[in-house]
């Protein structure tokens, strides 16, 4: 599984990067990006980031 952040929707709050820093990071534009796959070890954190995103900018795909 891989998370994707919609750059046109992301407001750059950083919640996802704080919740799952091994999957999400803030880029030079001030928005979040997913840079790693979801694994068994981080899947709960990724789901928390997806559910907590205030603008629903994150989705996960296979």
Residue 1: what pLDDT?
A: 92
Cα 5 to chain centroid distance, Å, stands at 6
> Residue 28's domain spans which residues?
2-61
The DSSP output letter for 1 is -
Which pLDDT belongs to residue 62? 84
Q: Which two tokens stand for residue 33?
A: 């990006």
The Cα–Cα gap between 33 and 23 comes to: 8
Sign of torsion, CA 14 24 33 55? negative
3-state SS class at 11: coil
Q: What is the CA radius of gyration of the chain?
A: 10
pLDDT value for 59 = 97
Q: Average the pLDDT over 12-24 and give the result.
A: 98
The CATH number given to whatever domain includes residue 48 is 3.30.70.20
Q: How many domains does the chain have?
A: 1
pLDDT digits (tens, 9 = 90+) for 21-59: 999 999 999 999 999 999 999 999 999 999 999 999 999
């Amino acid at each position: 599984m891989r998370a994707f952040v919609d750059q046109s929707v992301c407001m750059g709050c950083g919640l996802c990067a704080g919740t799952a820093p091994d999957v999400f990071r803030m880029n030079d534009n001030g928005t979040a990006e997913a840079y790693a796959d979801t694994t068994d070890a981080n899947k709960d954190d990724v789901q928390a980031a997806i559910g907590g995103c205030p603008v629903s900018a994150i989705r996960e795909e296979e």
